[in-house]
Amino acid sequence: MRASFLSFSPPSLGDAERNEVMDTLNSDWITTGPKTKAFEAKLRDYVSAPGIVALNSCTAGLHVGLVALGIGPGDEVIVPAMTFCATANVVEHVGARPVVVDVCPDTLNLDPEAVAKAITPRTKAIIPVHYAGHPVDLDAIFALAKQHGLLVMEDAAHALPAKYKGILVGSRSNLAAFSFYATKNLTTVEGGCLTGASDLIDQARIIGHHGMNRDAWKRFDKSGSWYYEVVLPGFKYNMTDVQAAIGLHQLDRLEGFQRRRREVVAAYEKGFRDLTALQLPVERPEVESSWHLYVIRLNLDLLTIDRNTFIEELKARNIGTSVHYLPVHMHPFYRDKYGYRPEDCPVAADAFSRMLTLPLHPGLSEEDVADVIQAVRDTITTFSRS
């Protein structure tokens, strides 16, 4: 057993990020300013997005996106059961109803067949989530949206730099929101962005900065003006230059991060493929996952312990894990408000009871990976029914 505890997903920060932050702190700009604009431009080019606005979180991106799309009271928005609560929370924030539907058994992404059954005359939009970094079946989702006249906004919190049929997620004209939270593939500590058609992004930029006209951030700079107008009641969602300073160098390192993530995934696949007590994550042939998370599912009928005890056993072996996620329809707020039952989304409910997320980040050494594999194998051997 390893001597020290292996954290689930610490950030990978280097001297370049630290030096850029200090340069920012020593400058005249620490909030939204030139480095935020440089980060936006660099990320827009990387993703090949038609437009982009940097924000303080992916949740902010989803929220301003719904506002920009005109979603409001009386509307319904379809969301997957297997996602972080923010995907549904933002729908509540604009006064609409999140309609929670089940996910595909292999990827745990939004199930197009479940979406089709959930569409009503009040449905206005679909928010597909690229769960764990594996792209959703976008062709099927967009076909349904076109058939029923619906809007699509992608929750791409896990999906930088995932590809669907060779195209980076976030490069389309529909809105897509990304997260740069501390555990993400690219971090700005806290932060996110929204990509999409330039007219929608222009509107989102105003909504996310108090409703001020678009160049209000320059009002303290020599090139700006003190005068601004509020054109709508917006929110305080802007990214700061301190955050963007980190993002500028994280983006330079992203391809290297991804190579290491794929190496770890390959090692896990090799180390676990013979274990019938495990259901391993998949990567469909038409996609390139960002491998933000490595989520395994236990075949509990082959074990004498449940998922929670399995997690405790790994912790006792100094391996940190997490669970992604308690399905939306099982959270007390959504359960009680809308009367959801676990069996309303049986695939998500079953997956939750069996899942745990193993460490996956570019800082893992070969020894770390070997320790994770050994700990999982040892736990299965110890608690196997056979």
Per the residue annotation, which of 42, 165, 184, 222 is the catalytic one?
A: 184
Rounded to whole angstroms, how far apart are CA atoms 143 and 145?
5
Output the CA–CA distances (angstroms, integers) from residue 119 to 99, 143, 291, in the order listed.
Answer: 9, 13, 30
222 is catalytic: no
Q: List all residues 6 or more positions away from 249 whose beta carbon is below 8 Å from its beta carbon.
A: 14, 16, 17, 20
Tokens representing residue 180 in the block: 């740069």
Q: How far is CA 198 from the centre of its chain?
A: 22
CA atoms within a 13 Å half-sphere pointing along the CA-CB vector of 21: 13
**DSSP string across 256-268:** HHHHHHHHHHHHH
Give the Cβ contact number of residue 313 at 10 Å: 18
3-state secondary structure of 246: helix
Residues recognised as catalytic: 184
